[in-house]
Structure 1
Amino acid sequence: MGIEVMWDQENIIRWECVETWDIGDFYMAVSHTCQMMDTSKNHIDLIISFVGQRMPVNLISHLGKLQPRFPQDTLIVVIESNRLVSSIVNITRRVFGESVLEGAPTLQAARARILAHQDELRDRTRPIKA
């Protein structure tokens, strides 16, 4: 499979996409992720990282379709070659803020920074069309 799912104790999931992968890989990764989730936590953080390749243009719409599978307070961050492409808050809004993750050393710091910039970024959001 072209998507490797990694899990840590902070309820943060990191997907590393390092090879060519198709939508079947994507749905398998989502299914695996949902099985591993601790639903007693009020949020799951999902970092989708594309190393040395571009984010598929249809990724955001696929995440929108999968919205009911995730807890409501999920935060998704999409990173392309270490640059923030978008973050999705509650998987219903697409937020563009390329500079938000600059200098954030950890995923926890990245999440804190995104949440701190939420109001500013919300001005540039638009709902996902699932």
Structure 2
Amino acid sequence: MDYVGGSLKLKNVKKKPLKKKKKDSKKLAEKVQEHSSRDKSPLEENGVSTYQMLRSKDTDSAMPMTEAQKHFESVQEQRLLQKAKNERLKTHKDRIDEYNRLLESQSEHFDMPKIGPG
């Protein structure tokens, strides 16, 4: 016995094929042009995007960094490098031990079971 999937079929009833609607490509093209021309600003039509316009404003108004700002940036970068170096040297076991010490120091409100053996 052959099994045919799908919906139930009634005897003596012919199935009419569904007709697909044809889309008018001319109307669709006109709508796309209307939307694209409406969305563009005058600068974008000249080839200058909004991003480029904003970027140029930022560079024009940017003030040179003071000595204190330069020092702050360098110290921050050094701290970040030192932190990355320390994290790189830790093993998984060290990280688990540190996490367990953190959990022990917190109150019971944050109580969680210890992780790992021991």
Mark the structure with the bigger radius of gyration.
2
Larger RCO, structure (CA 8 Å, separation 6 or more): 1
Flag whether TM exceeds 0.5 (same fold). no
Q: TM-score range by the shorter chain?
A: under 0.3
TM-score by length of 2: 0.18
More strand by share: 1
